[in-house]
């Protein structure tokens, strides 16, 4: 299984474990992560969830072969169910990020409560480069978090940035040496087992309540655009070229 789970000291750890593919995510892996989050929500012994990646990487984003063969469409897709699981989780979600965090690997961090990154981690949202559009509410949340100019640079140009810059931009809480990230994040996650859960739960709900309707609307609007772009000949050609590691031909849709 490419998604591993473990419960200990009040923390459910969800590990993306597909290092031979740079932890690229398939639809089956999205479903497994969604199931893991629901498991953590239902387990009274779990006070926090921790998401990390195996072998020095968080995730390189979607597995493009799987993505092209079974594109996500609509609210019943495994990707959308994963998004909903993160959004609906009333328990704190902590991320421990090392190596690449590309595409969904970066945008899911917007829905974590605490994020710890390696100082040399590489983050990026190169959706436009692949003929796609932002996802998971990032078109709403990123400008609010880092200002329009920085968000435009990251979303319109697909510029990569480091873990250290992620902290400066407000996307992460702290940047540490890669070897220290997981232990630090796990230590923070364990602290929630010492706190009164009803207060933690209510506080998280209050922190996110004012934006929830806007986030839902943004995700739905992005899904419409994303699905439309995914069906276009240009985008499919760009994705295929990337998959085959050849230079794409960019231009208007036929």
CA distance 62 to 18: 12
Write out pLDDT tens, residues 222-244: 999 998 998 889 988 888 888 77
8-state DSSP, 26 = P
Write out pLDDT tens, residues 40-95: 999 999 999 999 999 789 999 999 888 888 877 777 789 999 999 999 999 999 99
Q: Where are the domains of the chain?
A: 3-178
Nearest to 7 by CA among 35, 47, 38, 34: 47
Query: Hey, CA dihedral for 154, 36, 88, 82, is it positive or negative?
Result: positive
CA distance 170 to 105: 16
- Structural fold of domain 3-178: 2-enoyl-CoA Hydratase; Chain A, domain 1 (3.90.226)
CA distance 126 to 103: 6
Average pLDDT of 189-201? 97
- Residue 249: is its pLDDT beyond 70? no
Please check whether residue 31 is in contact with residue 62, taking contact to mean a CB–CB distance below 8 angstroms.
no
């Amino acid at each position: 299984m490419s998604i591993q789970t473990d419960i200990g000291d009040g923390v459910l750890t969800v590990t993306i474990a597909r290092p031979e593919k740079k932890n690229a995510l398939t639809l089956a892996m999205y479903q497994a992560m969604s199931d893991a989050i629901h498991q953590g929500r239902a387990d009274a012994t779990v006070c926090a969830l921790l998401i990390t990646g195996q072998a020095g990487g968080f995730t390189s984003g979607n597995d493009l072969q799987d993505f092209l063969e079974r594109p996500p469409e609509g609210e019943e897709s495994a990707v959308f169910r994963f998004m909903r699981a993160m959004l609906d989780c009333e328990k704190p979600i902590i991320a421990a990020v090392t190596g690449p965090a590309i595409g969904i690997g970066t945008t899911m961090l917007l829905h974590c409560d605490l994020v710890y990154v390696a100082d040399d981690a590489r983050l990026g949202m190169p959706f436009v480069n692949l003929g796609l559009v932002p996802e998971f509410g990032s078109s709403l949340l990123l400008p609010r978090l880092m200002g329009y100019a920085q968000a435009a640079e990251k979303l319109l140009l697909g510029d990569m940035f480091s873990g250290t810059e992620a902290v400066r931009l407000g996307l992460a809480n702290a940047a540490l040496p890669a070897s220290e990230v997981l232990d630090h994040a796990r230590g923070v996650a364990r602290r929630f087992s010492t706190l009164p859960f009803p207060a933690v739960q209510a506080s998280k709900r209050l922190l996110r309540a004012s934006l929830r309707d806007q986030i839902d609307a943004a995700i739905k609007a992005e899904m419409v655009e994303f699905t439309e772009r995914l069906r276009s000949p240009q985008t499919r050609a760009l994705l295929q070229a990337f998959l085959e590691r050849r230079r794409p031909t960019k231009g208007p849709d036929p």
